[in-house]
Amino acid sequence: MKEINRVIFTKQMKKDYTLLLPQMLPIHFEIIKEVFTNNGYKAELLTNEGPSVIQEGLKYVHNDMCYPAQLVIGQMLDAINSGKYDKHKIALIITQTGGGCRASNYIFLLRKALERANMAYVPVISLSFGLEKNPGFKLTNRIILQGFAGIVYGDLLSLLSNQTRPYEINKGETNELVQKWINILSDKFKNNKGYIGYAMKNNLIRIAKDFDNIELNDEKKIKVGIVGEIFIKFAPLGNNHLQDFLEDQGCEVMVPSLLGFFLYGMENAKYDKQYYGGFKRIMSYPIKKIGLNIVETFENMTYKNVNKVTQKFILPKGFAHMKSLCNGIIDHGVKMGEGWLLTSEMLELSELGYKNIICAQPFGCLPNHIAGKGMIRSVSERAKDTNIVPIDYDPSATSVNQENRIKLMLSIAKENMEKE
């Protein structure tokens, strides 16, 4: 196979080029975009959607590749061809995990797509720890800390807003509050404040107080949890605005945290060392263990400070508890894609009262078909009143069919709620 030359993102490019970021979590990524902006980069978060995105993806990405790859790459190429940007003054940025999932190949597929589209001159930056280096782009300690804080804040804003938006008496108040806090956090990060220590703790408390003050009605709604492949689970582009659809149907939605996915990735080092050994795995485990403990501390701090303010909200019990839920059902060595995390998240949602669960997955995603769809029976046997439906997302899957399957699940959920 022909090797594709990598275009280096230089220090000079940092002055003139605009970084285009793909969209996955609207709240989290809006904060993270501001982190890049506040650290001297011109950054823009892509929001383009529609048929042209998937058409661009199918044009340049083989249809054997997973749906998220087609969407992410299609969104970037659609944005470049929109006429909004100078093609010679942009760079694309994409995460690179280095794991066994096909997602690790996105960066190479993107470069291949750019070459086929006669735009091989566009730099593609790997957002990773040491897999690729560019003189004009560096993950400084400040960017890492602010980015991590952005994930913590994004998780909390999502968790609380999802539990107030469906019940708010003054419509639009929740979304206005979310935007208010995105702006506040951006200003604080710009002034190098609000992302560590007491300042962060104070912000978490203030966020909880603000959401606690939103006036709510006491209407009973169907509670629905969403799990699945990380992009399809989180990205409105990937799941056809699933959360919006569910809220329009009169539901309250809970989506597991992004922080939980990071904790899952670090926890897997334990099983790499235990099952596979090897010098590199043995040496890296202590570092990842330290990272795991630090991140869990922030997770616990978040929930603790919310509970100081109010008991109104349903809060998870933490990563360690969630991990324990799948004991005896699936081994923690199952870690391709979302692996055991997917099974544990279904059990956690059921435990929290979100017993109607949508397992959103790209068609043909093997890890999700095993650890998600394949575990439904085992999850249902342990949590007997759980109502789970798997929904496949694919270029050929119509939103009408997806919505009809979801409506059938909701009709069962409504019957169960009326019985209760």
What does the mean pLDDT of the chain come to? 92
| CA diameter of the chain | 65
pLDDT by residue (tens digit) across 146-161? 999 999 999 999 999 9
pLDDT by residue (tens digit) across 230-266? 999 999 999 999 999 999 999 999 999 999 999 998 9
Confidence of residue 33 (pLDDT cuts 50, 70, 90): very high
In 3D space, the residue among 105, 97, 189, 184 whose CA is nearest the CA of residue 146 turns out to be 189
Q: Which tokens belong to 55? A: 């058409």
pLDDT recorded at residue 1: 44
Q: Are 260 and 319 in contact (CB under 8 A)?
A: yes
Q: Is 16 helix (H, G, I), strand (E, B) or coil?
A: helix
Q: Which CATH class is domain 11-139?
A: alpha beta
Confidence of residue 170 (pLDDT cuts 50, 70, 90): very high
pLDDT recorded at residue 327: 95
Q: Global pTM?
A: 0.94
In 3D space, the residue among 312, 17, 297 whose CA is nearest the CA of residue 135 turns out to be 17
Mean pLDDT of 389-411: 92
Q: Where are the domains of the chain?
A: 11-139, 141-219, 221-311+318-419
pLDDT recorded at residue 106: 83
Query: Percentage of the chain surpassing pLDDT 70?
Result: 97
Laid out side by side, the sheet with 42-45 consists of 42-45, 18-21, 90-95, 124-127
Mean pLDDT of 67-81: 94
Mean pLDDT of 105-116: 90
pLDDT recorded at residue 103: 58
**Strand pairing report for 356-362 and 251-254:** unpaired
pLDDT recorded at residue 58: 92
Is pLDDT at 99 greater than 80 in this prediction? Answer: no
Q: Which of 130-134, 140-144, 258-262, 374-378 is predicted with the least confidence, judged by mean pLDDT?
A: 130-134
pLDDT recorded at residue 376: 94
Confidence of residue 187 (pLDDT cuts 50, 70, 90): very high
In 3D space, the residue among 365, 371, 356 whose CA is nearest the CA of residue 397 turns out to be 365
Is pLDDT at 167 greater than 60 in this prediction? Answer: yes
Confidence of residue 270 (pLDDT cuts 50, 70, 90): confident
Instruction: Return the percent helix, strand and coil in the chain, to nearest 5.
Output: 55, 10, 30
How many Å apart are CA 28 and CA 260, to the nearest integer?
14
pLDDT recorded at residue 101: 63
Residue 352 DSSP symbol: T
Radius of gyration of the chain (CA): 21
pLDDT by residue (tens digit) across 292-346? 999 999 999 999 999 999 999 999 999 999 999 999 999 999 988 889 999 999 9
